[in-house]
Amino acid sequence: MPKPLSIVFVKAAFVLACGTLLSGCLNLIDPLGPVGKGPQPAPPRSAPPLADKFAWGISTASYQYENPDVKPGEKECFFTDWDIFITQKKAPPKGNALYSWTQFEKDLAAIKKIGLTHYRFSIEWARVEPQPGVYNEAAVRRYVEMARRLKEAGIEPVICLWHFTFPDWLTDKKNPGNSNWLHPLARARWNTYVDKMVRATSPYTKFYAPQNEPNGQITTAYIVAQWPPGMTLAFGHYWKAIDASTGMFRDAAARIKAIKPTAKVLSVEALPWWERAPLDPGGLIYNTMLHGNTDHLDRIYDVCDILGINYYYSQAPGPISLFSGPSRRGHNFTMMGWRIDPGGLYKEIKRVGNRYGKPMMITENGIATPDDDKRVWYMQNHIAAIGRAIRDGYDVRGYFAWSLADNYEWHYGYKALFGLSRMDPKTYGRVFKPSAEKFAAIIRANRTMKSVSAIPPQANFR
């Protein structure tokens, strides 16, 4: 007797659904087109100069640290696209952050005490150019002063010219798709801004990072709507933003070298380690994530002296990890649900080293946790993974912890605790957690790449 048609349909639909879900390994669906192959043939890798000094730093960002110190109505008052996001209730309020604008000396005292050789901070474009073409010269001078104070203390400033936030005048409220990278004023104004800030800070600064994680920002802004202008699956805009931002990066690199030929240009990209998840329809999510790790860097690596890896976690991106993500807990996860995986850092260093053949630095690495023993364990194991990569012939020249103090963590507000210290709300001083002392001890004991290559992992955490 022939089977009723409905049963056949249900079975066929079931088989199709399972097939689609399980086809993660088949790698069939990639709405952004095939991921680039990278430079062909791959450039030869530089060998690690083992006797060279290893750079020990901490990374921070203007928006997450600075207080505004200006009031609405004052001509220096400025707003960013993230402030607009906050007023739209798409992100928690920032308040006065860590007062680093008015209390930079507190940061400096802490940095000196830890014994850093490098310190990465960013310039708030909106602060120095609150209106198109109108500069706040006092703010420009303050940033120069920060670089000078660091340099005089024997610490290399690493200046990032854009860390996620754009001046609000690059937001097109009527047509959000034309905002930020894609605003008609963006490129010309960026070039003037970069020129001005590099000329002003170059007497004290050797390292410039034109952009922080443009790859992550563009993916979250145009694919998953978590970042301004908040668009979903806007693949056309994604590519336009990649083109615009890489063009602006290359302009900045050229200007930096023209102003100071001895300067070093750093890329800083968000580079988690991605693994295939079985429940990923046609590899759709995996492929999209892989684009994030390659599309921007492929277009700018050649104008960089050092490739910066921001590494926090690994993930098998699929429906399960994406939806359960923030709620995952346990000793292998951070308080944000990120999977702790120092081995992923080792693999990412190998991938970047083999693909681009350039010297690297870990420009951000850190953990959000209320448990500082866990932070020490996380840090020690990630530094040990770098050591292993150096032993295996990969040229990694520095490590920057994220971050100096608990700070404003974008969508998480002040809930995600990334700091090696916390701010005393009365004195604004940075109060060290044990991890700051531990970091200081690691720095004191390991001055060269050779020494870092021998740092052992710390086996157990409870």
User: How far does Cα 44 stand from its chain's mean position?
Assistant: 26
Name residues whose C-beta falls within 8 Å of residue 225's C-beta, 6 or more positions apart in sequence: 231, 232
In the complex, minimum distance from the CB of residue 335 to ligand BGC, in angstroms, rounded to a whole number: 12
DSSP per-residue string spanning 293-308? HHHHHHTTGGG-SEEE
In the complex, minimum distance from the CB of residue 416 to ligand BGC, in angstroms, rounded to a whole number: 7
When computed from its CA atoms, the radius of gyration of the chain, rounded to whole angstroms, is: 23
CB atoms inside a 10 Å sphere around CB 53: 13
Q: Which is nearer to ligand BGC, 78 or 312 (CB)?
A: 312
* 165 binds ligand BGC per the rule CB under 6 A: no
Give CB contacts under 8 A, 24+ apart, made by 81-90.
81/165, 81/166, 81/167, 81/168, 81/170, 81/171, 81/179, 81/180, 81/228, 81/229, 82/164, 82/165, 82/228, 82/410, 83/168, 84/168, 84/171, 84/228, 85/228, 85/230, 90/230
In the complex, minimum distance from the CB of residue 338 to ligand BGC, in angstroms, rounded to a whole number: 9
| Amino acid symbol at 67 | N
Q: Which is nearer to ligand BGC, 270 or 449 (CB)?
A: 270
* 298 binds ligand BGC per the rule CB under 6 A: no
* 348 binds ligand BGC per the rule CB under 6 A: no
* 253 binds ligand BGC per the rule CB under 6 A: no
Residues 222, 295 contacting (CB under 8 angstroms): no
Residues 406, 417 contacting (CB under 8 angstroms): yes
Least Cα distance to 316 among 291, 338, 345 occurs for: 338
Q: Which is nearer to ligand BGC, 270 or 303 (CB)?
A: 270
* 269 binds ligand BGC per the rule CB under 6 A: no
In the complex, minimum distance from the CB of residue 59 to ligand BGC, in angstroms, rounded to a whole number: 7
* 335 binds ligand BGC per the rule CB under 6 A: no
- Contact pattern for ligand BGC over residues 191 through 220, marking x by CB under 6 A: ---------------------xx--x----
| Amino acid symbol at 280 | D
Residues 362-421 that bind ligand BGC (CB under 6 A): 364, 402, 409
Phi, psi dihedral angles at 411 (to 5 degrees): -65, -20
* 315 binds ligand BGC per the rule CB under 6 A: no
Residues 56-75 that bind ligand BGC (CB under 6 A): 61, 64
In the complex, minimum distance from the CB of residue 337 to ligand BGC, in angstroms, rounded to a whole number: 12
Site size for ligand BGC (CB under 6 A): 10
Q: Using CA atoms, how far apart are residues 365 and 359, in angstroms rounded to an integer?
A: 17
* 270 binds ligand BGC per the rule CB under 6 A: yes
In the complex, minimum distance from the CB of residue 290 to ligand BGC, in angstroms, rounded to a whole number: 18
Contacts with ligand BGC by CB under 6 A lie at 61, 64, 212-213, 216, 270, 310, 364, 402, 409
